[in-house]
């Protein structure tokens, strides 16, 4: 029996590729890549030769492809799963094959490495002892606001992914829902030449996004609710919207 290996790839700085990733790229029998062109591009930059068969493995086919790949694992093949950047399954394909491998009792392991979640968290300067990763914020304004309201009393540091074209509206919603004083960090272009971390209150970061719109890839890290904020959010102070959400 072979093995499924999920491997993290660099999120910007090619030098973050691990020695293990390099040898997996060279030696895996099958490489299941989110985007095959990006895989070859990475291999070129790393100056490694992809030894095995390369198959496209993305959001739209990961469920249907998982069992076929696992049949190969059963027959002795090693299958390497990589996404475009960072850790597979973290807002990227990969979970379907992990689940099916577990269900079928086949070996699955991970070659860890870069992921924007932890990079942003540790650079934010906010507490790291407890945090929650919340993926991308909802796209629609109304859903985003409703969702952010449910996070208002979250005591852990929160990590959100965001895209460039929604950063302006999202910052405005964060300001409206969490208020101007909560500490936060806007982390962009992590590990890249123009890496920048803007730290401050939500009010300050909101203003900085207006004054100097950020470019590139972005992670938002927001401090959890303080003890005082938790206390202030007594049930009697819940808004009608909160009560409606609780009643659902
Ligand atoms: N699997 C990836 C990981 O482990 O971080 C995440 C993939 S998700 C489709 C892409 C999002 O991750 C971007 O929109 C951004 O929020 C975040 N991201 C990825 N690379 C980043 C970087 N170098 N700097 C800041 N954010 C990044």
State pLDDT tens for residues 90-138.
999 999 999 999 999 999 999 999 999 999 999 999 999 999 999 999 9
State pLDDT tens for residues 147-168.
999 999 999 999 999 999 999 9
At CA 33, angle to CA 116 and CA 12, rounded to 5?
30
What's the confidence (pLDDT) of residue 227?
86
Per the prediction, the chain carries an average pLDDT of 95
Of 7, 91, 188, the residue with max ligand 1 atoms within 8 A of its CB, to mutate for a pocket test, comes to 91
Q: Please name every residue paired with 244 in a beta bridge, in sequence order, or none if there are none.
A: none
Using CA positions, which residue lies closest to atom 11 of ligand 1? 161
What's the confidence (pLDDT) of residue 228?
85
pTM: 0.92
What percent of the chain stands above pLDDT 70?
97
CA distance 166 to 6: 30
> 189: Cβ below 6 Å to ligand 1?
yes
Would you place residue 245 in the very low, low, confident or very high pLDDT band (cuts 50, 70, 90)? confident
CA distance 130 to 118: 12
CA distance 152 to 174: 10
ipTM above 0.85, yes or no: yes
What's the confidence (pLDDT) of residue 138?
96
What's the confidence (pLDDT) of residue 186?
98
Asked whether residue 20 carries a pLDDT value surpassing 80, the answer given is: yes
Asked whether residue 247 carries a pLDDT value surpassing 80, the answer given is: no
Using CA positions, which residue lies closest to atom 19 of ligand 1? 116
pLDDT average, residue stretch 206-219: 97
> 83: Cβ below 6 Å to ligand 1?
yes
pLDDT average, residue stretch 197-204: 98
> What are the strands of the beta sheet with 53-56, ordered from one edge?
53-56, 30-33, 78-82, 3-7, 108-111
pLDDT average, residue stretch 194-213: 98
Contact, 147 vs 138, CB < 8 A?
Answer: yes
State pLDDT tens for residues 21-57.
999 999 999 999 999 999 999 999 999 999 999 999 9
Cα of 138 vs centre of ligand 1, distance in Å, is: 16
CA distance 56 to 113: 21
Looking at the CA of residue 192, tell me the nearest atom of ligand 1. 23
Asked whether residue 217 carries a pLDDT value surpassing 70, the answer given is: yes
What's the confidence (pLDDT) of residue 244?
75
């Amino acid at each position: 029996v072979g093995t499924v290996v999920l491997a993290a790839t660099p999120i910007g700085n090619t030098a973050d590729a691990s020695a293990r990733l390099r040898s997996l790229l060279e030696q895996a029998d099958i490489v299941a890549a989110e985007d095959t062109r990006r895989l070859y591009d990475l291999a070129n930059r790393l100056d490694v030769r992809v030894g095995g068969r390369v198959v496209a493995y993305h959001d739209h086919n990961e469920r249907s492809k998982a069992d076929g790949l696992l049949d190969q694992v059963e027959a002795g093949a090693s299958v390497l799963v990589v996404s475009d950047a960072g850790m597979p399954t973290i807002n990227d394909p990969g979970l379907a094959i992990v689940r099916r491998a577990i269900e079928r009792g086949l070996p699955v392991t991970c070659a860890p490495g870069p992921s924007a979640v932890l990079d942003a968290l540790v650079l934010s300067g906010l507490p790291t002892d407890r945090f929650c990763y919340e993926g991308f914020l909802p796209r629609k304004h109304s859903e985003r606001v409703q969702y952010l309201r449910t996070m208002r009393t979250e005591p852990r540091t929160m990590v959100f992914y965001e895209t460039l074209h929604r950063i302006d509206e999202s910052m405005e919603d964060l300001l409206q829902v969490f208020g101007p004083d909560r500490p936060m960090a806007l982390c962009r272009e992590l590990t890249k030449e123009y890496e920048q971390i803007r730290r401050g209150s939500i009010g300050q970061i909101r203003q900085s996004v207006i004054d100097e719109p950020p470019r590139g890839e972005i992670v938002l890290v927001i401090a959890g609710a303080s003890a005082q904020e938790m206390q202030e959010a007594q049930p009697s102070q819940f808004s009608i919207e909160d009560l409606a959400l609780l009643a659902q």
